[in-house]
Amino acid sequence: MRRTILTGDRPTGPLHLGHYAGSLATRVELQHTHATYVLIADLQALTDHADRPEEIRHNVMEVALDYFAVGIDPAVSTIVVQSGVPELAELTGYFLNLVTVARLERNPTVKEEIRQKGFGGDIPAGFLVYPVSQAADITAFKAHVVPVGADQVPMIEQTAEIVRRFNRLYGAILVEPEALLPRVSRLPGIDGRSKMSKSLGNAIYLSDLPDVITDKVMRMYTDPRHARVEDPGQVEGNVVFTYLEAFDPDHAGLETLKERYRAGGLGDVALKHHLIDVLHTLLAPIRARRQDLAHEPEQILRILQEGTERGRTVARSTIAETRRAMHLDYQIVSEIPQAP
């Protein structure tokens, strides 16, 4: 039996290299051998952007463009807009009873985000529980595998706990998913301080123009003790090397560069020029496809509609099973009455 993949992104802006390294590349690679669902998580984006719905709506299209540009093929992958599948909200409601507030407050990714976003005491309840809605996303599609970056591992763990609890209480209906991590699973931002993210302003976008990429790489953090070309440099924790690790297809060449850098004699500027070349090679075709597709918003909308409908059919069937398992399948209302 073909295994099922589900993963997704919050449409809070165009996608960046962190998304690419974290899971876009894996999706493109696995889409031909797995039943693949890709979720544009607009409801999750609302959990911390409730005041900016137009922006999220706009970014749903941006994210879809990025998907097609990197090679997610709508002929084999199903792209689903989360808000088009209300069954996900229903499942979230059932799952909320299977998780404690204390457990939600312990989720390390959510904790970190709460700190970064500066909510202070005013954490939206929807934000605290978004891991539960993410558990609904994953289980509604009965996904076995969730390709994600390291920051999402706590979400998959929490999903697995909910699934075990559900299956124990109501019968073995749901699939316990596992995370699939890439080789470089936490791409730092160009400042080297934390993970790449839009809100921290340290991202390189898939749609960035060549000059912008060059400028961002030149500003990248390296080894502060590597002042002169002859000085021996540190490879570990050096952001330029982390990026090469993630994106340079020439692994043997990269090992040679590391040796030269450690020994002294390879300057930061030369090293950065190499990374700029690698990123240009990676991003030029993606940018070109993105520009072509940007002229066809109706076609993109049609693909999203088709994918969402297909996704909804799957989620409906899971909900029907769930209701049966939870003894909620009495036929009180067989049809929704029309309002006069």
Residues that bind ligand TRP (CB under 6 A): 6-10, 39, 41, 44, 134, 137-138, 146, 148, 152
Contact 184, 239 (CB under 8 A): no
Closest distance of CB 196 from ligand TRP, Å: 12
DSSP annotation of 142: T
Distance of alpha carbon 140 from the chain centroid:
18
By beta-carbon proximity to ligand TRP, the closer residue of 199 and 291 is: 199
Closest distance of CB 263 from ligand TRP, Å: 39
State the amino acid at position 339 in one-letter form: A
Give the residue carrying structure tokens 């989360």.
82
State the amino acid at position 94 in one-letter form: Y
Nearest to 278 by CA among 195, 182, 198, 210: 210
By beta-carbon proximity to ligand TRP, the closer residue of 16 and 226 is: 16
By beta-carbon proximity to ligand TRP, the closer residue of 98 and 146 is: 146
Closest distance of CB 45 from ligand TRP, Å: 9
CA distances in angstroms from 191 to 41, 85, 198, 209, 216, listed in the order given: 27, 38, 13, 19, 10
By beta-carbon proximity to ligand TRP, the closer residue of 42 and 268 is: 42
By beta-carbon proximity to ligand TRP, the closer residue of 143 and 278 is: 143
Closest distance of CB 158 from ligand TRP, Å: 11
Closest distance of CB 48 from ligand TRP, Å: 10
Alpha-carbon gap, residue 323 to 330, rounded angstroms = 9
Closest distance of CB 205 from ligand TRP, Å: 15
Question: Residues 90, 95, 101, CA angle at the centre, nearest 5°?
Answer: 125
Q: What percent helix, strand, coil does the chain show, rounded to 5?
A: 55, 10, 35
By beta-carbon proximity to ligand TRP, the closer residue of 4 and 242 is: 4
Closest distance of CB 10 from ligand TRP, Å: 5
| E strand spans, the chain | 4-9, 35-40, 77-81, 145-147, 178-180
Alpha-carbon gap, residue 271 to 276, rounded angstroms = 9
By beta-carbon proximity to ligand TRP, the closer residue of 43 and 283 is: 43
By beta-carbon proximity to ligand TRP, the closer residue of 199 and 317 is: 199
Question: 77-81 and 35-40: which strand pairing?
Answer: parallel
Sign of CA dihedral 155, 158, 160, 163: negative
Closest distance of CB 139 from ligand TRP, Å: 10
